[in-house]
Homo-oligomer: A and B are copies of this chain.
Amino acid sequence: MGGDHGPSVVVPGAALALERKPDSSFTFFGDEKQIAPLLAARPALKAASTIVHTDVSVRMDDKPSQALRSGRKTSSMWLAIDAVKEGTADVTISAGNTGALMLMSTLNLKTLAGVERPALAAIWPTSRGESVVLDMGATIGADARQLVDFAVMGGAMAKIVFDLDRPTVGLLNVGVEEMKGIEEVKNAAAILREHEGDLVYHGFVEGDDIGKGTVDVVVVEGFTGNIALKTAEGTARQIGRFLGDAMRSSWRTKIGYLFAKPAFDALRARMDPNNSNGAVFLGVNGVVIKSHGGTNADGFASAVEVGYDMVRYDLLAKISAGLKDYDRSNTPAVGAASS
C-alpha cells in the first residue's frame, strides 16, 4: 500500500519480477479491493500470489511512533514483516514509510545476534558501476564498533550484489590522512586495519570518492550518510534542471537536443534511481527491502530482485559469519598478552 502509487506500481512490479525470477511467489498485504483487480489482469502473477487483506495501512507522512501505535499487528506493513518472522515469506519489500518500516522491522524481527544497531544500505551508481553505501539514516551516530558492524554488513551485501569474494571497504571521512576526522571513525579504522577477514580495508575515503566508485562499500554513520545521499540526489536534479533550461534556450540548442536525444536517454537511464532501487535494511533478523517511494514498476521489480538475491545467497548467514570471523580475529592469540 506504500509509496506514491501503492498497488498500481507494486503489483505490476511484482509481475515483472516474476518474469525475471519465475520461482518467486508473492503475498500482497493490503486492500484486497485494490489488489485483486490488478492481479486478475495478470494471470501468471495471480497464480503465484495470495492476498492478505488489511484495513489499516501506514501513511507516508505518519511519524514512525504514530505508525506503530495505529498499525502494530494490524497494518499491511506490520503483517508483511510478520510473514518474514513467521517464515511464510523469505523477504518483505515495501515502498512505504521508511521510518515506520525500520521501526517495525527492528521491533518485530529484532536485531541479529552481535549487531547493536541496524543500518540502511543503498546501492549508489558510480563512475565504475555501483557501490553499497551505509548507513543512510537508520540510526543517528555510531561508535567505532558499530561502524565496523556496518562494514561487515555492507560487505556481506556487496558480496551478493556485486558477486565479489573480498569487497573493498572505505570509511567516509573529511580527509584521507590517518589523523583526520572524528574519534569513532579513527577507532573503527584501527579495528578494520587489524582485521584479517574477507573485507579489504581500503582506508578513509572522502565525499567525492563515492561517485568515483573508489571502494565497493562506503561506511558512514546515519546522520552524515543521509545528508550525503540527499545532497547528491539534489545535485543530480539541479544539474538536470540546468541542462533542461540550457537545451530549451534557443532553436539551435533545441535541434542539438533532438540529435543528441539518444545520449540524453542514456544519461537518464544511467542516473535513473529506479535502476539502483532497493535499499537493504541490514542488521535485523530477516531480509527487509526498502524501495523508493516514487519508483515505477520497473524500479519496484529491481527492489524485488535485490531481495530475491539477498535470500538466495543468504545475506543473514554471510553477515553472521562476517561478524564471527571478525570477533575471532580480535581475540588475542593464546599467550599473546604475556609475550
Q: Which residues of B contact A266 (CB under 8 A)?
A: 246, 249
Contact of A262 among B179, B212, B253 (CB under 8 A): B253
Assembly CA distance A227 to B211 (angstroms): 12
Hey, what's the 0/1 contact readout for A229-251 against B, CB within 8 Å counting as 1?
11111111111011100110110
**Which of A26-34, A202-210, A285-293 has 4 or more CB atoms under 8 Å from chain B?**
A202-210
Q: Which of chain A's residues 167-207 have a Cβ closer than 8 Å to chain B? A: 172-174, 177, 179, 181-182, 206-207
Q: Which of chain A's residues 124-170 have a Cβ closer than 8 Å to chain B? A: 126-127, 137, 140-141
Q: Which residues of B contact A256 (CB under 8 A)?
A: 256-261, 263
Q: Which residues of B contact A271 (CB under 8 A)?
A: 239, 242
Do the beta carbons of B238 and A126 come within 8 Å of each other? yes
Do the beta carbons of B260 and A247 come within 8 Å of each other? yes
Do the beta carbons of B267 and A263 come within 8 Å of each other? no
Do the beta carbons of B246 and A267 come within 8 Å of each other? yes
**Which of A106-114, A217-225, A302-310 has 4 or more CB atoms under 8 Å from chain B?**
A217-225
Do the beta carbons of A239 and B241 come within 8 Å of each other? no
Interface residues in chain A, defined as those with a beta carbon under 8 Å from any beta carbon in chain B:
63, 126-127, 137, 140-141, 172-174, 177, 179, 181-182, 206-212, 220, 222-224, 226-239, 241-243, 246-247, 249-250, 252-253, 255-264, 266-267, 270-271
Q: List 23 A-B contacts (CB under 8 A).
A: A63-B177, A63-B179, A127-B241, A140-B182, A172-B227, A207-B230, A210-B234, A211-B234, A211-B235, A212-B234, A212-B238, A223-B224, A227-B228, A228-B231, A246-B260, A246-B264, A249-B262, A249-B263, A253-B262, A256-B257, A256-B258, A256-B260, A256-B263
